[in-house]
Amino acid sequence: MGNRKISVFVLALVIIILDQYSKWLVRYRIPINKKIPILDKFVYLTHVANVGAAFGMLPNGRLFFILISSISIIVIIILAFKLSFNFLISFSIGLILGGISGNLIDRIFLGSVTDFIDVKFFSVFNIADSSITIGTIIILFYFLVIWKKPSK
Q: Given this model, what pLDDT does residue 56 score?
A: 61
pLDDT of residue 9 exceeding 60? yes
Question: What pairing do the DSSP bridges indicate for beta strands 43-50 and 113-119?
Answer: antiparallel
d(CA 127, CA 56): 16
d(CA 24, CA 22): 5
DSSP for residue 146: I
Q: Given this model, what pLDDT does residue 115 score?
A: 96
Q: Given this model, what pLDDT does residue 82 score?
A: 83
Give the start-to-end residue ranges of the domains of the chain: 3-146
Question: Tens digit of pLDDT for each residue in 122-138?
Answer: 889 999 999 999 999 99
Task: Please give the positions annotated as active site.
Answer: 115, 129
The structure's pTM equals 0.89
Q: Which is higher by pLDDT, 151 or 62? A: 62
Q: What angle do CA 63, 33, 65 make, to 5 degrees?
A: 15
